[in-house]
Amino acid sequence: MMARILLTCGEPAGIGPELAPLALAAGVDLVWMGDPRHLPPTAAWTPVADPDDAVPPGHLPVLRHDFAGPATPGRPDPAHAADVVAVIARAVDLAMAGRVAAICTAPISKEALIRGAGFAFPGHTEFLAHLAGDVPVAMMLASTTVTPPCRVVPATSHIPLADVPTALTEQALEQAIRLTHAAMIRDFGLPTPRIAVAGLNPHAGEGGMMGTQDRDMIAPLIARLRDQGLHVTGPHPADTLFHAPARARYDAAVACYHDQGLIPIKTLDFDGGVNVTLGLPFIRTSPDHGTAFDIAGKGLADPSSTIAALRLARSMADSRA
């Protein structure tokens, strides 16, 4: 029996806690870490000392982490922030020790963590990279319900569009390509992954007529990586890179900036998109949505993305095994 996937509680006032029993009901083998007082009152759960301990059928295995108090859906409490952070750190410890097969993280509220715990990281991903030893990482958004699959990795992420041309250095783009290449081999079971790189400018610069970065930096980098044995192509015009026939020609795409890559996947597979952190020494996935305070506790949460994230984590764990 393989180790379970660990699902963290995330922000307890959001929809994270109510997604755990819904994922269990869908047949996902998981263990949840958090305060059981934050679970829906109808949830059946059993505390476990070890992530793989047996529980009665239909019960959610719970690695208890007691918070400062109960949570009110839709109303984040800064008093819970330190424990939200501590749960993530505990989850990483278990993953690094090989006691869980992967981590799937429920959404957090950056504002609540800053207010309540002085959280010094831009988000989940950067904190996980720090806990893993300040390793270089990249964000992948991976589809789970469309064929051919859509997998995109932005080389620059949460920065203003005006800052992208400066941030998109040769080093940053090469790192994104290499992290994608390694992950496709290790986590997706593709021994010779095909990676397509989107151009920065419209029509990939049109030979320098609409920007020179594609001609002067991206194309030479791709040529160098191809000489080193990577199956990488581009720069491709981004507006023709994501329809089905184009996706059939590559396994993952590296985009130059956030919206260039995320708009296509959220259009193609909004409910089935999964956030994957590349570069970590353990597997981490997360649903591609936020805390949804507006619907928390109302029984309206859609578990599709969380279930997809848990199932993709299991598939990645199988590939590594």
Residue 201 annotated in ligand binding: no
Omega before residue 281 within 30° of 0, cis:
no
Say which residue the tokens 């909004």 belong to: 270
Residue 275 annotated in ligand binding: yes
Say which residue the tokens 């994922």 belong to: 23
Residue 274: both structure tokens together: 């999964």
HSE of 144, CA atoms in CB hemisphere, 13 A: 26
Residue 130 annotated in ligand binding: no
Q: CA 196 to CA 140: how far, in whole Å?
A: 14
- Say if CB 175 and CB 221 are below 8 A apart: no
- Say if CB 5 and CB 310 are below 8 A apart: yes
- Say if CB 106 and CB 22 are below 8 A apart: no
Residue 59 annotated in ligand binding: no
Residue 317: both structure tokens together: 């764990």
Write the DSSP symbol of residue 133. Answer: T
Residue 80 annotated in ligand binding: no
Residue 203 annotated in ligand binding: yes
Residue 140: phi, psi to the nearest 5?
A: -115, 135
Annotated binding residues for substrate: 124-125, 266, 275, 284
Annotated binding residues: 124-125, 158, 203, 258, 266, 275, 284
Annotated binding residues for a divalent metal cation: 158, 203, 258
